[in-house]
Amino acid sequence: MAHHVLRIAAGSDIGRRRRVNEDSALAGPRLLAVADGMGGHPHGDVASRTAVATLAGLPLSGDLVAVLSAGVTEVAARLDALARQNPDLAGMGTTLTALAWDEPGRRFAVAHIGDSRAYVLRGGDLFQLTRDHTMVQSLVDGGQLTRAEAARHPKGSMLVRALQSGGSAQPDLFWHDALPGDRYLLCSDGVSGFLTPEAIRDALADAARPADGVASLIGLANGAGGQDNITCVVADVAGAEPAPGPAPEPLLVGAAAQDGAGRIARFGRRLRRTH
């Protein structure tokens, strides 16, 4: 039976100004996620890694919006537990943007909290699927700032919602219908905060493969100064194809790709599933 599949790639770079990569990402045949440890808070790398590792263990069956909602709740619980075990971890937090692929319905379940973003390139146009949970975006929504003023605001990255130990998890949850030929991008604000929508659109549109899009965006963000960690997941919705062989194991990048000694795997590592 023919079906639609995702062709995926992911990459993460520490950038040119940071000493630690606090971003984590997961790219699997049915689950995409980016988490950005909160800057200025302790152990953002632990928080983002915890978020991605928790989602990686979710059973992707039934109502995927409900599955992602439960996953976000579980991330919050794990962050609380880690902070109780180690007071140095108190206050750590992360953004989280995740898409779960419901292939029979040809749609994505989306969970989002913070200012990492999901976009879709469709018919040559770029659409932002998620809404930033930032103070500046709230002011724009309320008509108190224009988008141009928001782009120059000194507190543009101040979050009003995130996953944080001791906090409450309130993600945006929704379905998004996909079309063959769509190209999806999940990224940390190391990309979206320093590249214009036009630059992101052009990089995605010009890339022959998802991996080319990832490499291009990381290069552009570093070229713009590399002022933050840079993480991207790019996925194409391929047209109907014969059923493939065994699905590849999910790829972890950024802080989530640390080995047991805490070293960062340069090109990520594969996650061996147990479910």
- Work out the angle between the directed axes of helices 44-56 and 64-85 (0-180°, nearest 10): 140
Residue 242 pLDDT exceeds 60? no
| Distances from the Cα of 98 to the Cα of 44, 103, 148, 187, 275, angstroms | 18, 16, 28, 10, 19
Does any domain span residue 13?
yes
pLDDT band at 275 (very low <50, low <70, confident <90, very high): very low
Give how many domains the chain has, as a whole number: 1
pLDDT in tens, 114-125: 999 999 999 999
CATH number at residue 231: 3.60.40.10
Angle at 55 between CA 53 and CA 58, to 5 degrees: 120
Does any domain span residue 149?
yes
Does any domain span residue 264?
no
pLDDT in tens, 5-14: 899 999 999 9
Domain containing 178 equals 3-243
Does any domain span residue 257?
no
Does any domain span residue 203?
yes
| Res 134: pLDDT | 77
pLDDT in tens, 189-201: 999 999 999 999 9
| Cβ burial, residue 83 (10 Å; 0-12/13-18/19+) | buried
Does any domain span residue 131?
yes
Does any domain span residue 250?
no
pLDDT band at 262 (very low <50, low <70, confident <90, very high): very low
| Res 123: pLDDT | 95
Does any domain span residue 248?
no
pLDDT in tens, 134-164: 766 666 566 666 566 556 655 556 777 889 8
**Residue 126 to residue 132: CA distance in whole angstroms:** 16
**Residue 117 to residue 97: CA distance in whole angstroms:** 7
| Res 161: pLDDT | 81
Residue 217 pLDDT exceeds 70? yes
pLDDT band at 266 (very low <50, low <70, confident <90, very high): very low
Summarize the confidence of residues 36-46 as an average pLDDT: 81
Mean pLDDT of the chain: 86
Residue 252 pLDDT exceeds 90? yes
Strand ranges (E), the chain: 3-13, 23-27, 31-36, 93-94, 96-102, 107-113, 117-122, 125-128, 163-164, 172-177, 183-187, 230-241, 251-254, 269-270
Strand partners, 24: 35, 254
